[in-house]
Chains A and B, each alone.
Chain A
């Protein structure tokens, strides 16, 4: 985009925006001044920006999410102010209103709920399973910084370039270039894409952590319920987020390359976007609610001093919800004309998914029955959740009745429903979790009295705000209208609703006051302030940087409770024998790579090659740097462990890093407890599964659009089979030779390994050459990506495969160099095993490209 005047770049004309500009500028200056005056740049870099400690990363996620809760909440209050009175108010013009409801939705779900959730995962899961960190600490840090950069990109759009205004899901055709020519929509795409990569990585990280790093004796069915909920949520994440990645990418390809996936002309189909985005969107809401359910299970058991009722059925419910969430998505567009059969199917699946949730509610109630119940803040929030979420769920079942939904769809009834389940379920749950685990993280409790004020304001505010909205929906008020007239009769309910919104805002302010007050007056606590049942309460508050000085040996569910009961009977723990602990080193790679992603995204938004190219090169360079870097771990001496244990619990967030992170290759693939290479192999396999989802979504798009040639050429006219057959046999042979490379490696034959890798790479390069020639010829004949929906789908599907092959070639060369230098070691073996798996996977994908695209295209 060519910038000719200031208003092409900065958003102008709105005093609120100018005010925001000033506030942002002043804040940035204040931060720089404070860091310099207190000489804290080094501290910031060492302790926070380069940390790979899950506890620190968790804190950063929580801080970011609370800041975003503020921004999203302000958006809400702005909207409610505008809607308090009928059309005599022009507080927000329609365009501005559209900016705000779009931003509100994106921020609350993607930049508030998700990071808060990831924060709770990070703060708690390793401690609950007796582990010292997550499976992939550096990847964990990268996840956070990618989220941060994605959120920055999105947030910056309201002062630079302009906000997106097509709603939180950016439906085409409104979100296409024709109707949203500004850069706002591109900020949306890139902010969410970059952040989404981080989310996917966290999903992989925690699955491997939970499956492979539990303390000895902690079988799956002995895990805490929160950890089960995290596992189920992460399984959903790895299967759903690739769909989002593809869908947003297709929208971007439409906008940037003039393709026709979702346009109104040349064979595009906007409904396909809605279909795909909700295939992600529905699982997404279960992704956020399942960990909330896990929190409730922990809190209810702890504050009833009774073990959780129905552990087995709780696990079954979590896992069923996690999978069945993938079978309900069309209920978000019953009214789009899919017909009775489709609607009936999805109505039924939606009703079915309410059942496991019901099971969970009853189990929580049965846990409380005959328990010794106390009402600390975590328990209060849990009690509030139950009636709120149950009612919200019931309105969900009402909505699932497809014919009735024709009345409810896109009305305030829908808005009230989803806010009720999201606030009553997710927000209340995460608040309960924050209050519950806050003392473990920081070593002090949050003030009870202020917390109760916040609690009541939030709850009363919630019902006052949203109950009237059900009525408004039934009276016919539709969503996303910035004003309504007096004669609708809607204004009294709207006015009441606005009062409720401000009550919730007041509740939030009390929480901020509560946090500041508690930091000042520090009601210090020790390791187990609530009388907890699970392992995280068995270590000091805050936890030492290595978590467990001695890895616990677990014998049952609620193992900490069991050990406390034994101690009460006089059974002593044996005196601790400290040993050296293997820990991951801090790293600047994640934040550096994330900055390059920001640069790339910003470049694509404004279509500035001078940012896109350096951004892309920077990302590739940091990835290669990481591949070649074998100096990633170190050992903490037993003596240092002993000293740290002696000082435990004495301060907030004690010295984070060991005194001496000595520098040489300590990563031998094993840390004394875990086979690190096995973890990394499993992580890579899961990544391949996510890649299957990427290609599956591309195949689905191709299947739907392949006949939409819009009068232009079809596959039968374009495809030249000799070239395709050659490509097929070349790739298949290269898959075979990569296997021969692995065989050489297993025999310890370094020369054979490198030799067969070279053959594989040469074959791969030939494949790419043939494919590029094929594409160029087609483009020359006038068959471009922008010619028709069929061609958009063809180039994207086949091109994505080609991109994977090309990246694989670069990776292969990098590994050849590493093997040449270091020989065949556990680490290089794992890397070669992984690239070989990747290469086989690409050949499998090609089987289906060859079959579905080319063979079915020409026959």
Chain B
């Protein structure tokens, strides 16, 4: 037990989320660029307006989030048990509750202005 376990530890660290290849990073980068360009072009040139613009903006944002989650943060590669994924999902549910709940309570009630 007192010996160095460098090889064991480095193998252990290796098997964690920092795998990924150049391909995945480049793909993630390019997709993110595209998903940023789309809303910029469509919205700043008034090609879509109003609620449709909001939808385009949110959809591209969420897609870019998912792209970066998989291509930059290697979420799929976690070994079982997938605690990190579980905590992330839980956190996202709570974030959605905070944002949607606040908007509902504060903006769609009898005392909102």
Give the interface of A toward B (CB within 8 A): 207, 211, 235, 239, 243, 269, 271-272, 275-276, 279, 323, 326-327, 329-330, 336-339, 342, 579-580, 582, 635, 668-670, 672, 675-678, 681-682, 685-686, 689-690, 692-693, 695-697, 699-701, 703-704, 721, 725, 728-729, 732-733, 735-736, 739-740, 742-743, 745-746, 825-826, 829-830, 833, 836-837, 840, 843-844, 847-848, 850-852, 855-856, 858-859
Contacts and interface: CB of A to CB of B under 8 A. Distances in A.
Interface in B84-113: 84, 87-88, 90-92, 94-95, 97-99, 101-111
B18 A742 contact: yes
A270 to B, nearest CB: 11
Contacts of A678: 12-13, 16
Contacts of A735: 29, 32, 68, 72
Choose among B6, B65, B69, B106 the residue with the greatest number of A CB atoms under 10 Å from its CB: B106
Contacts of B33: 729, 732
Nearest to A699: B99
Interface string B12-56: 111011111110011011001100100110011000010001100
B87 A686 contact: yes
B109 A337 contact: yes
Nearest to A849: B61
Contact of B111 (A330, A337, A675, A704): A337
B54 A704 contact: no
Given A681-B16, A721-B44, A735-B68, 11 more contacts: A342-B109, A580-B1, A676-B9, A689-B90, A692-B95, A693-B91, A693-B94, A739-B72, A740-B22, A743-B21, A830-B13
Contacts of B91: 239, 689-690, 692-693
Contact of A840 (B12, B73, B106): B73
B65 A736 contact: no
A703 B101 CA distance: 11
A728 B6 contact: no
Interface size class of B (residues with CB under 8 A): 35 or more
B102 A235 contact: no
26 contacts: A243-B98, A279-B101, A336-B111, A338-B105, A342-B104, A669-B9, A669-B13, A670-B9, A672-B5, A675-B13, A677-B9, A681-B17, A692-B95, A693-B94, A693-B98, A696-B99, A700-B103, A739-B20, A739-B72, A746-B19, A833-B18, A840-B73, A847-B68, A850-B36, A855-B43, A859-B49
Contact of B103 (A330, A337, A704): A704
By secondary structure, the A interface counts as: helix
B6 A826 contact: yes
Nearest to A725: B40
Nearest to A738: B72
Interface of B: 1-2, 4-6, 8-10, 12-14, 16-22, 25-26, 28-29, 32-33, 36, 39-40, 43-44, 49, 53-54, 57-58, 60-61, 64-65, 68-69, 72-73, 83-84, 87-88, 90-92, 94-95, 97-99, 101-111
B15 to A, nearest CB: 9
B112 to A, nearest CB: 9
Contact of B94 (A239, A582, A703, A743): A239
A736 B22 CA distance: 10
A851 B106 contact: no
A729 B94 CA distance: 29
B61 to A, nearest CB: 4
A631 to B, nearest CB: 16
B66 to A, nearest CB: 10
B102 A700 contact: yes
A672 B3 CA distance: 9
Interface centre among A337, A689, A739 (most CB of B within 10 A): A739
A580 B29 CA distance: 48
Contacts of B105: 275, 330, 338, 342
B109 A338 contact: yes
Contacts of A686: 87
Contacts of B110: 337-339
Contacts of A690: 91
B20 A743 contact: yes
B58 A851 contact: yes
A542 B82 CA distance: 36
A410 B46 CA distance: 51
Given A670-B8, A729-B36, A736 B95 contact: no
A746 B14 contact: yes
Contacts of B57: 851-852, 855-856, 859
Given A678-B13, A729-B36, A732-B36, A279 B98 contact: yes
A682 B107 CA distance: 38
The 6 closest A-B pairs by CB, nearest first: A696-B95, A337-B111, A672-B1, A689-B91, A700-B102, A851-B61
Contacts of A239: 90-91, 94
A272 B106 contact: yes
Given A668-B6, A670-B5, A703-B103, A682 B83 contact: yes
B98 A700 contact: yes
Contact of A736 (B28, B53, B88): B28
A811 B27 CA distance: 28
A669 B108 CA distance: 52
Given A342-B104, A829-B10, A844-B68, A689 B18 contact: no
A721 B41 CA distance: 12
Contacts of B2: 580, 635
Contact of B29 (A211, A695, A697, A736): A736
Contacts of B44: 721, 858-859
Contacts of B103: 700, 703-704
Contacts of A829: 10, 13, 18
A699 B6 CA distance: 43
Nearest to A635: B2
Contact of B68 (A272, A704, A843): A843
Contacts of B94: 239, 326, 693, 696
Contact of A275 (B17, B43, B102): B102
Nearest to A239: B94
Nearest to A336: B111
Contact of B1 (A327, A339, A582, A843): A582
Nearest to A851: B61
Contacts of A685: 84, 87-88
Contact of B4 (A668, A675, A855): A668
B25 A743 contact: yes
Contacts of B18: 742, 745-746, 829, 833, 836
A742 to B, nearest CB: 5
B43 A859 contact: yes
Contacts of B26: 736
A247 to B, nearest CB: 11
Most buried by B among A336, A339, A686, A855: A855
For B19, B64, B92, which residue has the most chain A Cβ atoms within 10 angstroms?
Answer: B64
A851 B84 contact: no
B16 to A, nearest CB: 6
